[in-house]
Every structure is written in structure tokens, then in C-alpha cells.
Amino acid sequence: MKIPLIIFLMIAGYLLGSIPAAYVVGRIVKKIDLRQYGSGTVSSSMVWEHVGHWAVIPVALFDVFKASVPVWLTIHFNLGEIVALMIGICVVAGHNWPIFLKFQGGRGLSPMIGILLVLFPPGVVWLLCFLLLGRLYEPPIMALLGIITLPISVILMKGSKVIYFAAGLFLLITIMKRLEANQRALPSTIKQKWSVLLLRLLYDRDIKDHQAWIHRKPENKTNSASSNPGDS
């Protein structure tokens, strides 16, 4: 009896995750498509850079709670932590690969935090600490380190074993999304391809210059894309 319900909830979770709050805010406030700006991600960070600092608050809250609410409801109705995590991961998948935007979405960090908010609140503090450190040094690297080291917080705070599984899924999804980069094309040569893939994995971008990358606009994207990776 529960299997059809779980499948339904997973599909609903994906569709809920696919609601692109950052994209909607960008369209309403600035009449822009965030996929054409900066990193090209439909994310709070691009809202901050290209829409307005104030707009980050409603976008981030929506992206967090669109994961935490279904996860909490799953726990509330006694479907178990594993099922709750599965539904939460479906929300993350929808956020990263939204059906409404041709599978071009965000990076999934906000809904991941939403999952942890219910299943392992200390994990939220752990990730936020790394994100704060990212204000001082390379946000993408610190975010990646926060996810990689999440199991340490589980050990220290004696969290559920489910969180180890969650941490592994978070890392896998993060790596997949960074390398796929919203279907952004790779350079033509093998050497350049490997260079760009390494930059994407570590720095979540195609060039070395972080500021140049996040401030890209449609009129200068062509120039940025045509420059050799690692030269900017």
C-alpha cells in the first residue's frame, strides 16, 4: 500500500523542487532570465548579484522550505527517515534539473539545507559555517568541503546513520551538477575540456576569475566563452 504513495510523493517532490523561485523573481523584478547571467545558475547567489540583495531572502527561504516541508510531513506521517530522505533528494533533483526550465536549474544547496533542517539540524550549522568561510576564500571550494566533511558532524553530534547516506548523495549530486553546468558546452580540444572540467569541479566555473564569471551578462558571454579556459 505504501509503495504507490511513496512513488507519488517522490514525483510530487520533484515537481515541487522544479518551481524556480530565483528565476521567477528575476523575471518579475528585473525582467531577466538568470540563466543568461553570471554563472548561469538559477540560484540565490545569482539573485544577489543580478536582481537585488533583498530578493535573496524570499528566494532562499522558499528553496529551503520546499524541501524541509515535504521531508517533515513524511516523518510526521511515520513513513521513516529513508523515505523522507528519498523525497528530499527528489526535491533537490527538481531544483537542479527543473522540468519547467529545460532542466537548467540551481546547485541544490538550499534544498539540501532544507533536508538537514529536519533530519539533522546540526548539519545546517556545519554547512553554514563553511559557507561563511567561503566569504573569505573561494565559496565553491568551501561549499564542497562542507559537504565532503558533513559525516564528521554526524560523528561529533551522534546523528542518524541515514545522514551518512544523505551526505554521499549530496556530494554525488553536487559533482554531477558542477560538471554538467546547466548543459554548458565544453571547449573543442581535449586539453581545454579537462581544464574546464577541473575548474567546474573545484571552482564551479569555467574560468579562473571569479568576479568576471559571476558578473557576466548576455552581451559579454560570447567573449568570455571564446577566451581560453584558465586565462581569465
Render pLDDT for 207-216 as a digit per residue (tens, 0 to 9).
Answer: 999 889 999 9
Count the domains in the chain: 2
118 in the same domain as 14: yes
13 in the same domain as 111: yes
129 in the same domain as 98: yes
Mean pLDDT of the chain: 92
153 in the same domain as 39: yes
99 in the same domain as 209: no
198 in the same domain as 149: no
Q: What is the pLDDT of residues 48-99, one digit of tens each?
A: 999 999 999 999 999 999 999 999 999 999 999 999 999 999 999 999 999 9
Under-70 pLDDT residues of the chain: 1, 219-232
208 in the same domain as 176: no
Of 184, 200, 222, the last residue of a domain is 184
pLDDT at position 2 is 82
Give one DSSP letter per residue of 71-132, joined into a string.
HHHHHHTT--HHHHHHHHHHHHHHHHS-GGGTT----SHHHHHHHHHHH-HHHHHHHHHHHH
Show the domain range for 51. 2-184
| The model's pTM | 0.91
CB-based burial label for 153 (10 Å; 0-12, 13-18, 19+): buried
pLDDT at position 221 is 53
pLDDT at position 135 is 83
25 in the same domain as 105: yes
Give yes or no for a contact between 59 and 22, defined as CB atoms under 8 angstroms apart: yes
pLDDT at position 228 is 47
198 in the same domain as 104: no
Distance CA 7, CA 83 (A): 10
pLDDT at position 42 is 95
64 in the same domain as 17: yes
pLDDT at position 229 is 52
30 in the same domain as 16: yes
